[in-house]
Amino acid sequence: MSNIVKVSNAIESRESLPIRYDLYLPSQPKSALPVLLFLHGFKGFKDWGPFPSACEELARDGFGVVAFNFSHNGVGENLLEFERLDLFERQTLSRDLDDVGSVIEAIKTGKIGSDRARLNSDRIGVIGHSRGGHTAVSAAAEYPEIQSLVTWSSVADYNARWSEKMLDDWKRQGYTEIENARTGQIMRVGREVYEDAIGNKERVIALERVRELHLPALFIAGREDEAVSWKDSEQLYKSCPSDIKELKVIPGTGHTFGAAHPFEEEEYPDPFADVLDTTSDWFADHLAGH
């Protein structure tokens, strides 16, 4: 982690819950840094797999990178464990979108970054993986500080993902259950998650919000994605009216581009390295003004 400073702390969400974040910075920035926000996905967290290492790489390329856990993602003080399943049950898309706003406000007011380096809060890019990509699209439409967007394996329309069983569970008992294949935990998703996505679809559904975007937008997906079809990214790309947009579908790889948790290899899987290089180049061209 040479030449990179990492600052870990928390800010409060709108509901006074902690939004735990890591800020990655070049150790001696020459000027105010453009900022990248990194949004994890469903059943994800900021410390998943190679995400921390990827954030270091992006910081090395001249960005201030803020990776954070959504306030309701279910990960508590132990940053690698789901200890707050009560919060996970209530993780609505609206709450995630509000959390992005809280982080942006903390950057603007100096609560994030000011003691270590000046962050350019008018030049913010956002990266989101899977459900985080879905939220990243909505955030790019919601918050004018966001000037550029990259999604990895993004969901296009969360309301298209609710199964008949989930709908029946919500109607009958107020929650549905999913298994976390990695941990074996049974995790509840409450009815309010569904009601929020339906009732606030104009605000929180990516396929709705992407039609508002006139900023540089890159949509990356794996053609063999087993969790979210690459066609979701294609939908977002086609629906985005921006003059600067791109769709990149990588053959022979899936939802996490060959990466897994824990990440113990010395080198990134080739598809993940490709995604990271492409992402860095995109923000260098369309955010940093290089």
CA 30, CA 116: separation in Å to the nearest integer?
12
CA 90, CA 25: separation in Å to the nearest integer?
32
The per-residue pLDDT string of the chain (290 residues; one tens digit each, 9 = 90 and over) reads 458 999 999 999 999 999 999 999 998 877 889 999 999 999 999 999 999 999 999 999 999 999 999 999 999 999 999 999 999 999 999 999 999 999 999 999 999 987 667 899 989 999 999 999 999 999 999 999 999 999 999 999 999 999 999 999 999 999 999 999 889 999 999 999 999 999 999 999 999 999 999 999 999 999 999 999 999 999 999 999 999 999 999 999 999 999 999 999 999 999 999 999 999 999 999 998 64
Decide: 127 and 279 in contact? Cβ < 8 Å: yes
As a CATH number, domain 4-158+201-286 is: 3.40.50.1820
Q: What global pTM score does this model have?
A: 0.97
Tokens of 19: 């939004």
User: In sequence order, what are the residues at sequence separation of 6 or more whose Cβ sits closer than 8 angstroms to the Cβ of residue 103?
Assistant: 11, 19, 21, 37, 66, 68, 112
